[in-house]
Amino acid sequence: MSIRAVAARAGVSPATVSRVFTQAASVSAATRRRVEAAAEELAYVPNPVARSLARGRTGNLGIVVPDIANSFASVIAKAVHREARAAGYALFIAGSDRRPDEEYRLARAMASQVDGLLMMSPRIDDELLEQLSAMTPLAVINRVVDGCPAVLITTADGMNQAVEHLHALGHRQIVYLAGSRSYSNTTRLDGFREACTRLGIEPLEIDLDDSRFSAGVRAGDLVLARGATAVIAYNDEIAVGVMSRLAYRGIGVPAEMSVIGCDDTGLAEMAIPLLTSVRLPAATAGTAAVRMLLDRVDGHGATSAERLYLPTELVIRSTTAPVGKRTEERNRLTKDQA
């Protein structure tokens, strides 16, 4: 049904119908009600592209994530897409492959095509983020940037719980596998170190600078070489990679090595055995970030001080157990061979 048919039914001009759906405040209440009634009778649906152009907007939002294939990123992207669609926006998604230069290039390219931009765990400098913020409304997930609204997931709490859980099971040689040089990794590492220090454990760390499953596979041998009895991985993908390598080496999980992941993605419940993991509220973070961004797009809320902190918790499944005699014997043999 056309706008002209609605105008004829309501006894107004097509321009008046257009204003009702794009600049309602400029039309009297009586005329607006008449036009809306006519539109409903004729099942008229305004063209969203035309409405966006009339408001000087694109009707699009954008999000740049470190890795599209990453399970945690996909959960956030799905929540962002759902919330954006509910608000009448289309969503552009791009992955930077964890490269700061590519991240900035993609964000700049999107800035002119969207009404607002989300950045997930951005790795670029604050100065470049400020430049992007000057180009388009900006909000971030897991990064503190002055003048920019942010959703921050407090993984330090979950890491504390993870170390305390392993300590209670008798583990004293616990390795943290750092898989990313980012704000997220910094908060996890800080939580790990703090908990180890508080409990009198020497914090053991291996920097992979890679958050993929393959990095975990490679790390399996490094973990054994460090004489660890337990591993806390940057994410579930690394954790499952470690488990795969340990299985290949004939090392039982959790009988000879306890393993904890982080993110608690669907992968944790598909692993065999089921993976103990620090649960992060990914979907909640994505939804909240879109709402912050839309507040900024609409010109209200989202002040420079607005930051939402979301808690995390340890979900205990089947990959952690008390230190056993087999673990102690393996570590003794490893030291003798060294």
How confident is the prediction for the chain on average, in pLDDT?
88
Of 1.10.10.60, 2.60.40.1930, 3.40.50.2300, 3.40.1260.10, the CATH number of 155-281+315-337 is 3.40.50.2300
Same fold, 60-150+282-299 and 155-281+315-337: yes
Provide the pLDDT for residue 53.
47
pLDDT in tens, 24-73: 666 788 888 888 888 888 887 765 545 554 555 789 999 999 999 888 99
Work out the average pLDDT over 282-311.
85
Reply yes or no on whether the pLDDT at 257 is more than 90: yes
pLDDT in tens, 207-247: 998 889 999 999 999 999 999 999 999 999 999 999 999 99
Lowest mean pLDDT among 16-20, 61-65, 75-79, 105-109: 16-20
- Whole-angstrom distance, CA of residue 41 vs CA of residue 220: 66
CA angle 313, 315, 321 (to 5 degrees): 125
pLDDT in tens, 173-190: 999 999 877 888 999 999
Provide the pLDDT for residue 24.
62
Judge contact between 246 and 253, C-beta under 8 A.
Answer: yes
Please list, in sequence order, all residues whose beta carbon lies within 8 angstroms of the beta carbon of residue 98, skipping any fewer than 6 positions away: 66, 67, 123, 180, 211
Domain positions in the chain are 3-54, 60-150+282-299, 155-281+315-337
- Whole-angstrom distance, CA of residue 274 vs CA of residue 252: 13
Q: What is the pTM of this model?
A: 0.79
Judge contact between 93 and 65, C-beta under 8 A.
Answer: yes
Work out the average pLDDT over 97-116.
94
CATH topology of domain 3-54: 434 Repressor (Amino-terminal Domain) (1.10.260)
Provide the pLDDT for residue 268.
96
Q: Which CATH class is domain 60-150+282-299?
A: alpha beta
Mapped onto helix, strand or coil, the DSSP state of residue 74 is helix
Which residues make beta-bridge pairs with 118? 63, 139
